[in-house]
Chain A
Amino acid sequence: MYSRRKFLTQTCGGVGGLALTQLLNTDGLLAAASAGGMGGTHHKAKAKNIIYIYLEGGPSQMDLYDPKPMLNRLDGQALPESMLKNMRFAFLSKESARIMGTPRTFKPHGQCGMELSDLIPHIGSIADDICLVRSMHTDQFNHVPGQLLMNTGSAISGRPSIGSWLSYGLGSASKNLPEFVVLITVGRGVPGGSASWSSGFLPSKYSGVMFRNDGAPVLNLENPARINAAMQKRTIEGVAQMNALRNAEVRDPEIESRIAAYELAFRMQTAGPELMDLSGESKETLDMYGVNRQEPKIEGGSLGGVGLFGTFARNCLMSRRLIERGVRVVQVIHASWDHHSRINTELPHNCALVDQPIAALVKDLKQRGLLEDTLVVCGSEFGRTALGENRPGNRSVTGRDHHPNAFSIWLAGGGIKGGQVIGETDDIAWNVTKDPVHVHDLHATLLHLFGFDHTRLTYRFQGRDFRLTDVHGHVVKKMLA
């Protein structure tokens, strides 16, 4: 590594301008600089990449993934006192809340016969690839603590996100893109902001980098208006040239790193437009993701905003393109699933928005042979209550409140055993009755798939060795292929 760097410096200093082009074409020159923080995995990894689709807000499990025929029969009835004891809710008044039925219908999908709601037919078409977990549970019933727990393993702010832990553990496979990319459909706004992709106390290079899916993907990727491409190139060369001169005086390895960073930056400038250019994608692919779909009108408007069908579809397609280009971790966020009211309008609209592109992504990864190495996770921070939300002040009951006891997520690819359902809940999806999977267990399993023992992927901060799973977590063996 030292000799490589030395080579780099000498090349830059000696040959000046010419060297850069050569360097840009020299693959692998900088690879060593981006090795992971752990210097290797603990065991052989099943997954190399992850696309983590985060449907912020808590989608309703009994309207999507967890069929509960009893709900409609119990509609309008109160819950027994025993089930409400020790429960806390964000909004609903326990005493007067009643069970709310669902207009959704469920039918089996795939060889495995996984029962899924009529709102997600496309996801139904990949049932044999996915492992549906109906027995997730969490400790948190408010969005931000819930999201922090789901995305950083702790309800307290300031911890590294899953993506940051993975970047830290794995390092980057891309020489001209960041290690961890975040694509957001803002919708109602991501409640905890960047906390879900922050590197916390890990070095900031492990932090998720927000990409746009249109125009220049990253902030500052475009040259200032007055600087043409040739001038930019000469600028980078000039910086390398003069940095090398200084380094001859002070001999600081940091200068060598900085020269390398400028070269990488220049490559990102080239890689950016190439990444964004969808002209190489076939019409079939674009149609499969629904990039140019017609967006249906939503009656009464959507809290999560309109005009996002194309954005989300492009984000899904973009995540495949990022993975293809060596990005290890992609987080796709859509923030519009907090259906306290108008659930029967908002939920179908948002499902129509995500169902097709998500299923297309899994199919596309599969047909390109990428699914084997790429773990796809689709989840949220909690589920919703079987009780209708009777928030004081609401005129009518049209939604569901936050529910931490039981919710559903699914995983596919990257070492996951597809075509199976893990866990069961009671008749109203209130409590888990079989194979409970805590958020920490999910995290332990994710790390396991990437070759890490979750108890040993640690980072020392303020005198303590921190882990994603804190002091908890068990690998869910059933999930593994």
Chain B
Amino acid sequence: MRTLDLNLLSFRPGSKCRTWLALAGFAALWQSGGLTEGRAAERAKVNFGRDILPILSQNCFRCHGPDEGSREAKLRLDRQEGLFREHEGFTVVVPGKPAESELIVRITTTDEDEVMPPLSTHKKLTPAQVDLFKRWVAEGATWGKHWAYETPVRVEPPAVKAPAIAVQNPIDNFIFSRLETEGIKPSGEADRRTLYRRLSLDLLGLPPDPKAVQTFIDDKRPDAYERVVDTLLASPHFGERWGRYWLDLARYADSGGYLNDTLRPYAYLYRDWVIDAINRDLPFDQFTIEQLAGDLLPDAKIEQKIATGFHRNTLKNDEAGADLELDRSKTAVDRAATTGSVWLGLSVGCAECHTHKYDQITHKEFYQLYAFFNSTAERDLPAPRPEELENYNAKLNSWEGKRAKLDSPLEAYLQTVLDTKLPAWESTVIRPTARWTMIKPTDVTIATEDEERALVPDDDLSITPGIRAPLKSRFIVKSTLNLANVTGFRVEALAEPGKTVGRSKSGDFALAEFSVTAKLPSGEQNKLELATARADFETKTGVAAKTIDGDNGTAWSVGPQTKESHVIVFELKTPQTFPEGTQLVFELEHRIVGIMGRFRLAATTSALPLEPNTIPDTLVAALETPHEKRSAAQVNELARYFARTADEPGQKLYAPILEHAGQAPDFPKTSAPVLITADRKTHIHLRGDYQRPGAEVEPDTLEVLPPLKVRGKRADRLDLARWLVDPVNPMTARVTVNHIWKNLFGRGIVATVDNFGAQGDRPSHPELLDYLATEFVRLGWSRKQMIRFMVTSATYRQTSTARPDLTDRDPLNVLLARQSRHRLEAEVVRDVFLASGGLLNAKIGGPSIFPPLPAYITAFGRNRSWPATEGEEQYRRGLYIHLRRNVPYPMLLTFDASDTSVTCLQRERSNSPLQALTLLNDPVFFECSEKLGEKLAAEPGDIDQRLHRGFETCMSRPPTTAERKAMRSIYDDQLKLSGGDGALAMVAVARVLMNLDEFITRE
């Protein structure tokens, strides 16, 4: 069987996330197997893992595989004991005796009722497959594991007997020796222009600078090529190019999908982390650990927490009335499945509803993996960027300077009242009787209708909800409190000077329910009974008592008095004493009209009744301190309080200060979506339904892989991450080098980059794959070093020109007797246009951009805002385009950018008329040809010289004579058709050049 079965190929075309290679590769496997098989002398012994298992998996495991639910005749062929056991009076496989083996009998019989696989499955073994089975049994039926579960073995690179081109490194030994076996010669090295353009596109995703190409051509040093590689690897655009590959795996997007498609304005922090991590060559093991468990690292830095944004890229259903627990559980399912696909190359997600039909992943094991992510919650951490902080601090400084100026006349005035008005006022103040102890929060979250965010209390222990003003929110404040005989609690709703007390449109708030729950060290939970609620002020309908009436539709509000702080106090039915280790959980549920802008909690042991008094505690303390013992600060606070609340001249001096206070700069809103730990029990979901819990499971990994090392009592994400990158794990290094290889050679060594399981392809060069996997670990998991290793091979440097001699033998270029030639990815297509047109804004990182689009394209969903980016920003690289899940940017979609709903391990490379229309007519692409054409038109030299330069700008090579002639004839024709407009004719030629296949192809 020397040629590919094209029929087999034709019924599985490409996919957006290309998996058709799965089948193509499968065919190629038989082909390449056939290539070797054809040589009788080298006819190797049948290997179970390599040759038999894939056929069993493909044809038999559905009914006789790991899944108990669908198993027929109690027979399983995925286990050694199943294959060799006696079954209904027959033995499935008798080593050495094909005729006595029921398996052979059943696959060879002509009896339609007996034959396996049954006719109803529409599956049929090929004669070659039947032959393999027979030979395997005859040769003794040695059993073995699926190849991918075996530890990679590093073998000595095989010698190439008579190299047609010089071997550059061990990669070539593997590739060329295989070619030698097949009797195929590799292609020669590509010329330097092609090599430079190839490297530039592969490593940076940008066309080369023509000067750099010339320098390379002129560089006669023996390591000229390696120098280019090193220069490109050091470019900050390297991180953009390789970061984008990773973002496909991370299903990165700037919105949450579903009905609201809520924007994620700070998702880019994760995107920028990826770019930066790749630029600084963060070793892949650490790169993995930080993304899966950066928050669990000792003394985790904010950047390491931002890395956990990897799993915050999941979709979120925040439709009103949505089943939030379903969404949470499906999110955890996606996180487990994505982790399996990205690092293990296994479709673990297939075991969500039942045991995997083909791979050794049980239903229980899936939920063990799920448990890691089930014990996880989402947070948004304040994460101002350095430049934002700098900006903020500058504004703050100037604001504070002005405040000091406004303050000085007040200060001067205060000095004049200290011994006069102040003592007089003091004697009139009625001091509250209760004394309050501030609650020191240990953990604060705000749970809104669509998210849960962590909040950090201020130094004065007050809490502000932070960036967004959500419609409806519940604050959950946890604290420990060592007090005996607590009689009540207090909430201070604090109005910042110059600002309102609440966040509703009118500045009001509506506290619907207040509750306190004591979690005793014994595990017992008591919701404390509150007898009364009284506020210093309430509206007619928004009375304080409504906060404890059990109805969250009614609330306490302060109506017109929105500029002042307010207080509500709650009396306990019976005084409470909390044993040490008790945790108090305060919940403050707000209604739709608004939440408090800032609040603070306190408890008291004072006798009842408790009065809702707005005089600050510190002021009460100052008042109670004898005059001579008061600190200067206390004196000042008293004087200011007096001046502000009870003294006419003082209030006049205060007015501008208050007004100025309202203009205080806001702290940067930037906050990072991250993961944190949240303890939850995990049960198996029967049939994948979270409402049907089965047995409880603990976080753990797959039995077929090496055991997990657990640091504490219970395994956590950090253990999982470390397990993934433990060199004994046979999967991660193989899967990762295969990804890298795929990006540089057009297809993976395992063509099914997303599936290393039994249904996936076998590696085309297994020993090379293992060599690369072990080399990756040896290189300290350095991505840059691994890429350097690959691109400096002679294999990589070959020309990509098709080989007519191999069209039939190796149409998919599995054996790599040449480089592959492929269309650039969507984002890079845009980048080469912008760069060659001279429009590219090469700025790295920051918020995503919104290139202008017609409204009908952006405004069909429920989330229709598309604030078009203007000026230079709109010419930024493709990877910075805002990715809205419900409204994909048409150009990216048309050029097969990844679908952002699930992890994408390999993109499709389609070729469609919509692509042609885009490159021809889309305003931004036309603008690129305009810019190039106009530039050429304005340059000196005759027409041919200018056309020549235009060609070189676009292709990094001079045109051939035929191409020169063609360009000239196009120019002449366009000149006529445009009525003699030379500049426009030049634009038209530039437009042709930029629409050529070569322009958007890596050769």
Question: Which residues of A come within 8 Å of B, CB atoms?
Answer: 17, 37-39, 88-91, 141-145, 156-158, 178, 184, 186, 188-195, 198-205, 207, 209-210, 212, 218-224, 226-228, 230-232, 234-236, 238-239, 241-243, 245-247, 249-252, 254-255, 257-258, 261-262, 264-265, 268-269, 392-393, 402, 456, 459-464
Contact B856 A212 (CB under 8 A): yes
Stretch at the interface among B10-18, B89-97, B158-166, B454-462: B10-18
Select one of A143, A195, A220, A268 contacting B886, CB under 8 A: A195
Minimum Cβ distance to chain B for residue A235 (Å): 6
Q: Looking at the complex, which one of B10, B862, B886 makes contact with A188 (CB distance below 8 Å)?
A: B862
Cβ-neighbour of B914 out of A200, A209, A255 (below 8 A): A209
Q: 11 interchain pairs (CB within 8 A)?
A: A191-B259, A193-B862, A203-B15, A204-B908, A205-B912, A223-B921, A224-B921, A231-B977, A261-B913, A265-B920, A460-B19
Question: Within the complex, which residue of B319, B754, B890, B908 is in contact with A144, where a contact is CB–CB below 8 Å?
Answer: B319
The residue of chain B having its C-beta at the shortest distance from the C-beta of A143 within the complex is B259
Minimum CB–CB distance from B979 to chain A (whole Å) comes to 9
Looking at the assembled complex, report how far the CB atom of B696 sits from the nearest CB atom of chain A, in whole angstroms.
24
- Shortest distance between the CB of B583 and any CB in chain A (Å): 31
How far is the CB of B970 from the nearest CB of chain A, in Å? 4
Select which of A195, A228, A402, A462 is within 8 A of B349 by beta carbon. Answer: A462
Interfacial chain B residues near A222, Cβ < 8 Å: 921
**Assuming A90-B321, A193-B887, A243-B997, is B857 touching A219 (CB within 8 A)?**
yes
B804 at the interface (CB under 8 A from A): yes
Given A200-B899, A209-B914, A91 contacting B19 (CB threshold 8 A): no
B592 within 8 A of A: yes
| Cα–Cα, bound, A219→B911 (Å) | 17
Question: Chain A interface: which of B174-182, B213-221, B988-996?
Answer: B988-996
**A38 to B20, alpha carbons, bound, how many Å?**
13
Q: Is the Cβ of A37 less than 8 Å from the Cβ of B258? A: no
Question: How far apart sit A254 and B860, CA to CA, in the bound complex (Å)?
Answer: 34
Assess the B997–A238 pair: CB atoms within 8 A.
no
Give Cα A173 to B465, complex, Å.
57
Stretch in B400-408, B422-430, B665-673, B959-967 touching the partner? B959-967
Cα-based distance from A257 to B910 in the complex (angstroms): 10
CA distance A218 to B912 in the complex (A): 14
Contact across chains for B996 and A231 when beta carbons are under 8 A apart: no
B911 contacts A254, C-beta separation under 8 Å: yes
On whether the beta carbons of B966 and A242 are closer than 8 Å, the reply is yes
Known contacts A194-B887, A204-B896, A226-B984, A268 near B913 by CB under 8 Å: yes
- In the complex, the answer to whether B916 meets A191 with C-beta atoms within 8 Å is no
Smallest distance from the beta carbon of A12 to chain B beta carbons, Å?
Answer: 12
Q: Could you tell me if A88 and B916 are in contact, using CB atoms closer than 8 angstroms? A: no
Q: Are B16 and A142 within 8 A (Cβ)?
A: no
Cα separation A156 to B821 with both chains bound (whole Å): 36
Write out the residue numbers on chain B whose beta carbons fall within 8 Å of the beta carbon of A232: 920
Question: By the criterion CB–CB under 8 Å, are B257 and A157 in contact?
Answer: yes
Interface centre among A91, A157, A221, A228 (most CB of B within 10 A): A157
Identify A254's interface contact among B319, B821, B913, B922, CB under 8 A.
Answer: B821
Please tell me if the beta carbons of B910 and A250 are within 8 angstroms of each other in the complex: no
Q: Could you tell me if B984 and A144 are in contact, using CB atoms closer than 8 angstroms? A: no
Is B675's CB within 8 Å of the partner chain A? no
* B983 to A, closest residue via Cβ: A226
CB proximity to A under 8 Å, residues B864-916: 864, 884-888, 890, 893-894, 896, 899, 901-902, 905, 908, 910-916
Best-buried of A219, A250, A262 by chain B (most CB within 10 Å): A219
Given A89-B321, A188-B862, A222-B921, are A243 and B991 neighbors across the interface (CB < 8 Å)? no
Number of interface residues of B (CB under 8 A): 107
Q: Which of B14, B894, B899, B913 has the most CB of A within 10 A?
A: B913
Interface residues in B180-216 by Cβ distance below 8 A to A read: none
Give the contacting residue for A201; candidates B16, B861, B920; CB below 8 A: B16
Q: Are A193 and B17 in contact (CB under 8 A)?
A: no
Residue on B nearest A202 in the bound complex, by CB: B15
Task: Output the nearest chain B residue to A392 by Cβ-Cβ distance.
Answer: B553
> In whole angstroms, what is the CA distance A235 to B996 when docked?
11
Q: Measured between C-beta atoms, what is the minimum distance from B356 to chain A in Å?
A: 9
| Min CB–CB distance B7 → chain A (angstroms) | 8
Contact yes or no, B921 A221, CB < 8 A: yes
- The residue on B at minimum CB distance from A37 is B13
Contact A393 B553 (CB under 8 A): yes
| CA A218 to CA B988, docked complex, whole Å | 23
Distance in Å: Cβ of A205 to nearest Cβ of chain B: 5
A198 to B322, CA, bound (A): 23
* Most chain B Cβ neighbours within 10 Å, of A234, A238, A402: A238
A209 and B856 CA atoms in complex are apart in Å by: 13
Question: B23 contacts the other chain (Cβ, under 8 Å)?
Answer: yes
Instruction: Give chain A residues whose Cβ lies under 8 Å from the Cβ of B912.
Output: 204-205, 261
Contact B910 A203 (CB under 8 A): yes
A435 to B232, CA, bound (A): 66
A460/B966 in contact, CB under 8 A: no
Binary interface profile of B, 316-330, with partner A (CB < 8 Å = 1, else 0)? 010111110000001
Looking at the complex, which one of B894, B917, B960 makes contact with A204 (CB distance below 8 Å)? Answer: B894
